[in-house]
Structure 1
Amino acid sequence: MSLDWIYWGISWILLSWHSIWDAIGVPEDTVLGTNWAWILAIFFLVVTVRVILFPVFVKQIKSQRAMQALQPQVKALQEKHKGDRETLQKEMMELYRKEKANPLMGCLPMFLQIPVFLGLFHVLRRLNPNKGEGAKTLYGWAADQFDSAASAKLFTAPIASKFGSSTQELADLGANGTTVKVIAGVLVLIMIATTYLTSRQMILKTGWAEDPQQRMIQRLMLYGIPASLLISGAIFPIGVIIYWVTNNLFTLGQQQWVLRKYPPPVMTGKNGKPIPGPAARKAASTKAASAKPGTSSRGKGDKDQPETKPAVDGKALAPRPGAKPVNPKKGRPAKRQG
């Protein structure tokens, strides 16, 4: 299946935004070693894609809310069919079908962005000033636009270069190998950190899923994907890493807004009392771990204050009505009289 339609679409959005910034007056020449018109074009490529995918993101949040509301029922099924994995999976799939919840919906926005990522990767990878006129004008590019993008830089590192660029590739782009490795390396680390934070932000708000399949997906997104970027990041052009980092920052802000506007539902236990969320449980466990037997609960400013002993309730020590009085002297051996 040809992916040309993706390359055409990504090129059209990228070139349209570059034309807008060029018309506004953003200089084509480098400022601080950076061609800002192309950097802004990549940034607003992210904005365009996220606006298009916003309805999908809302569906993702609704699906996660539905999955969270089903956690008590999922836990009950796990207790009921403990040791019978096949029956458990059938029962849970029937529960999801009945309640119209999809455990894979949480990954859908990420999967839909994969074609965009691959399209931008392909478009930027082919930015080589030594290509012929026919190659330069593919996917709706003009020759002067191609040459401008091929020479675009971020802090003197070409956006078409990558951490693992060969000597020949660096020579074609007129780039310094050390500079490219430093800029690309820093961006890869930022990409890994922001990818981890986007998953962690959601898990801290919604908690770990009871469903093993859903929990596995959460672990994959939290640890697996950031770890894979440590290796795959070496082959990403700097422009693609800029796209990824910008997309992560956009996701962090969008998730924070949505989670505040639509907070997770309050879960209740069998007794009808609300179950504390992940943050409350963590705070409670930290407080319990810090409280050691025999230690005083006085604050730092109360060091000079004497410790107070618990008051003795006189009523509790008084004999009950109808009970025989207790003689503390009874039972003691009488003193011998000399």
Structure 2
Amino acid sequence: MEKQRNLILAVVLMGLLLIGWDYGIAYFYPQPKGKPAATAPTNPAAAPASSGPPAKPTREGGLQAPADVALEQKDLAQELSAGHRVAIDAPGLKGSINLVGGVVDDLTLVRHRETIDKNSPPVRLFSPAGTPAQHFAQVGWLGQNGLATPNGQTLFTAQGGKLTPATPVTLTWANPTGQTFALRYAIDQNYMLTVTQSVTNAAPTAASVTPFARINRTDKTMSQDTWQVHSGPIGAFDGSVNFSNNYTDVAKAGSIAPAGAANWIGFTDIYWLSALIPADGAARPNADFRALGNNVFAADLMWPAASVAPGQTQSQTLRLFAGAKENNVLEAYENQGVTHLSLSIDWGWFRWFEKPIFWLLDALFHGVKNFGVAIILLTLLVRGMMFPVAQRQFASMAAMRALQPKMKAIQERYKDDKAQAQQEIMKLYKEERVNPLAGCLPIFLQIPVFFALYKVLVLTIEMRHQPFVLWIKDLSAPDPLHVLNLFGLLPFTPPAYLGIGVLAIILGITMWAQFKLQPAAMDPAQQQVMGLMPWMMMFVMAPFASGLLLYWITSNLLTIAQQRYLYSRHPQLKAQAAKDQQNLDRSAARSATITAKPKKK
């Protein structure tokens, strides 16, 4: 009865884990349910409010509400057809600079598309002020003592027809008192714009100006911000990347100024980053994040006021990164002096292990040109490195099986004194030089590899939209074919914990086959629980990235092959396992017979 009670309890607990998985994660690591409360608006360029309940952010980010998507298309077409723009045409970025305000507010990423469809449009990162997806960068000045400076409504004059890596563009504007303000934009092959802002003073008296730079964006396009992957305000201060603030924090505080000198500051999504990078020099800017109201936020740099003498020009340079978080590109910018830009990818505490897994997987991918095959090769390498450990594990299991008669005798001798029985068993382990935990070592070694691959699949844009074969078009996303909707034939999407796909079913089968090859547990209830484990894991793992399931399936198949090989090397272990299984079957049959007998009156 006690064993049956334990079995029932185990089944109930597994059911609670299965059904409550999503709810538990949502409770302990909640997603933003809505948008942060807005403070009083301090910027006229605020995105329009959307009607209806806020949409839940996705891993990709972008507008989710259909009304916002439709309005964005309409507003974008109107804004971009109004004229007063200088085209941007570079290998990494395309778009335009708005001569009204001299702002960069129209950028798309050439190398990345919105969906896996080859005809899908490129990802849009920047949108003009006032559109539902507004996101732009502004560089300018504040005038001291009433000095007129350009603002968001100023119409600049362009010198140069198109911004390309070979042709910079300069925007100029002159005020009535003799000061000329210039913004020189240059762009590289990837995602970096260099902005030189200068003031030339032709007046007979000195002019005092305060340079600033700002990234302005709405949080309606944010990607998921979870306990493991940060989306929102980000920056590097005194050489340390700060992930501690999110949009809700800034909205509640109104303004947050992180401690330390800013190496760079901006906003991140899982795959995209916009950041201002001040040049190294004596004058270091103040940096902060601000809530501007109506779901709009700003990341600011503000330099000390500078006095421009008559006949002199004062200038300074900063860089603007606006693009995809491609690791190789970010590391190249680090080599050019941008502090820890590659750590805008939220590797977490274990990046020392995750980045080598990424480098290896990326190298395999470039070699075989198929990311799924690269995952399989990575699994082969990992299992190959752990094969000597597996050999020692099986040797330990063989020794443990050989000790079973002695252990059983000890348990019978001290059946009324469990503490003494445990001491005698530990003494037996020591005398026979057997480590009962040796069999767990391969599992513990696989855990960091599994977690690192999980982070790589979730974080790195290099894995985004990478296909494998047949229906697996994106290994960074869950299996799209669900059993409960007949693989997409029925018009509904099952909840995450019931969205069982083909890969999840294969995972369950391979885990079951793997457990069948393992030596049977001595406790029948424990054996029954282990028999249910593969099918429980099938449900738990179904919502995870397809690439992660592919890794686990491959690992299971290799483990099965490895177990068969090692059983051939340790025939005594296989024979003992078969004998144990027969004993368990007989014990279970006797228990069933006793339970079925009617009680005597």
Normalised-by-shorter TM-score class? 0.5 to 0.7
The answer on 1:257 being equivalent to 2:584 is no
Compute the displacement of 1:178 (Å): 6.5
Name the counterpart of 2:464: 150
Map Cα deviations across residues 204-246 of structure 1 (whole Å, 9 max, x no partner). xxx444xx6xx887666x3364244134213310000000000
Greater share of helix: 1
Q: Deviation of residue 17 (structure 1)? A: 1.4
Q: Which residue of 1 aligns with 2:67?
A: none
State the superposition RMSD in angstroms: 3.5
Please identify which structure carries the higher strand content: 2
Partners of 1:277 and 1:228 in 2: CA distance = 28
User: How many residues are matched?
Assistant: 227
Q: Which amino acid aligns with 2:545?
A: P
Structure-1 separation of matches of 2:574 and 2:543: 44
What's the secondary structure of 2:478's corresponding residue? coil
Structure 1 residues 243 and 19: CA distance shift in structure 2, 3 A = same
SS of equivalent residue, structure 2 residue 501: helix
SS, match of residue 277 in structure 1:
helix
Q: Once the two structures are aligned, what percentage of the paired residues are identical? A: 31
Alpha-carbon contact 1:190-1:245 (below 8 Å) kept: yes
**Match of residue 240, structure 1, among 548, 552, 557:** 548
Aligned twin of 1:3: 350
1:67 partner letter: M
- 1:116 and 1:256 map into 2 onto residues whose CA distance is 24
Matches within 5 A, 1:1-338: 2-22=349-369, 37-127=370-460, 136=461, 146=462, 149-154=463-468, 155-157=470-472, 158-162=474-478, 185-203=501-519, 207-209=520-522, 222-223=530-531, 225-264=533-572, 277-278=579-580
* 1:283–1:218 Cα change, 3 Å: closer
Contact 2:514 2:560 in 1 (8 A): yes
SS of 1:235's equivalent? coil
Q: Distance in 1 between matches of 2:439 and 2:415?
A: 26
TM-score, normalization by structure 1:
0.59
**Structure-2 separation of matches of 1:183 and 1:238:** 13
Unaligned runs of 5+ in 2: 1-347, 482-490, 588-601
1:10 Cα offset (Å): 1.1
The residue type equivalent to 1:77 in the other structure is I
Query: Are the equivalent residues in 2 in contact too, given 1:164–1:234 (CA < 8 A)?
Result: no
TM-superposed deviation, 1:69 = 0.8
Paired letter, 2:383: R
Q: 1:163 to 1:192 in 2, by over 3 A?
A: same
Deviation string 1:33-60 (CA, Å, 9 cap, x unpaired) is xxxx111100011000011111110110
CA contact (8 A) 1:42 1:242 kept: yes
Aligned to 1:289: none
Is 1:163–1:185's contact at 8 Å kept on the other side of the alignment?
Answer: yes
| 2:393–2:438 contact (8 Å) kept in structure 1 | yes
Q: Is the 8 A contact 1:196 1:223 kept in 2?
A: yes
Contact in 1 for aligned 2:365/2:374 (Cα 8 Å): yes
Q: Which amino acid aligns with 2:507?
A: M
Three-state SS of the structure 2 residue aligned to 1:264 is helix
Greater CA drift, 226-235 or 55-64: 226-235
Residues 192, 9 of structure 1: alpha-carbon distance in 2 compared, 3 angstrom cutoff: same
Tell me whether 224-233 or 11-20 shows the greater mean CA deviation: 224-233
1:4 CA displacement: 0.3
User: What SS does the aligned partner of 2:477 have?
Assistant: coil
What SS class does the counterpart of residue 161 from structure 1 fall into? coil
Task: Give a deviation string over 1:87-124, Cα, whole Å, max 9, x none.
Answer: 11111111112212122222221121011111111111
Deviation at residue 279 of structure 1 after TM alignment? 6.5
1:266–1:73: structure 2 CA closer, same or farther, 3 Å change rule?
farther
Deviations 1:42-86 (A, max 9, x none): 001100001111111011001001101111110110110012111
Give the aligned residue type for 1:193.
Answer: I
User: Given that residues 397 and 439 in structure 2 are in contact (C-alpha distance below 8 angstroms), is that contact kept between their aligned partners in structure 1?
Assistant: yes
Q: Choose between structure 1 and 2 for higher RCO, CA contacts under 8 A separated by at least 6 residues.
A: 1
Distance in 2 of aligned mates of 1:56 and 1:237: 28
Unaligned 5+ segments in structure 1 are: 23-36, 128-135, 137-145, 166-175, 268-273, 286-338
| Separation in 1, partners of 2:574, 2:535 | 33
**Whole-Å Cα distance in 2 between the matches of residues 90 and 164 of structure 1?**
53
Structure-2-length-normalised TM-score: 0.34
Distance 1:202 1:266 in 2: 9
